[in-house]
Amino acid sequence: KQRRFQKGIALLESGGLIQDLSKKSSDLVYQKRLYLTLGDRYLQLTCYSEANVCYQKSLRDVFILKNPSWLVAAGCGSLGIFYKEMGDFKTSLTFHQISLSVGEQLKDQELIHKAYSNMGNTYTSSGDFDRAEEYSKKHQVYSQKAQNEEELLNSYINRGNILDDAGQHDKAAAEYEKGLK
Tell me the per-residue pLDDT of 65-109, one tens digit each, with 9 for 90 and over. 555 577 788 888 999 999 999 999 999 999 999 899 988 988 888
- Assign 128 a pLDDT band (cuts: 50, 70, 90): very high
Q: What is the mean pLDDT of residues 97-124?
A: 90
What is the pLDDT, as a whole number, of residue 132?
92
Q: What is the pLDDT of residues 19-56, one digit of tens each?
A: 454 444 445 667 777 888 888 888 888 888 888 888 88
Dist. CA 156–CA 41, nearest whole Å: 26
Tell me the percentage of the chain whose pLDDT exceeds 90.
Answer: 28
Amino acid at 4: R
Alpha carbon separation from 71 to 7, 29, 61 (Å, rounded): 23, 8, 11
Per-residue pLDDT tens digits for 153-181? 888 998 899 999 889 999 999 999 998 88
Shortest CA distance to 55 belongs to which of 83, 28, 27? 83
CA distance 58 to 94: 18
Q: Are 96 and 105 in contact (CB under 8 A)?
A: no
60, 68 Cβ separation under 8 angstroms: no
Taking 90 as the threshold, does the pLDDT of residue 124 lie above it?
A: yes
Q: What pLDDT does 91 receive?
A: 93
157: amino acid identity, one letter:
I
Report long-range pairs for 145-150 (Cβ below 8 Å, ≥24 apart): 146/109, 146/113, 148/109, 148/113
Per-residue confidence (pLDDT) for residue 134, from 0 to 100: 92
Q: How far is CA 117 from CA 4, 31, 44, 59, 142, in A?
A: 30, 27, 18, 22, 11
pTM: 0.74
Residue 25 has a pLDDT of: 45
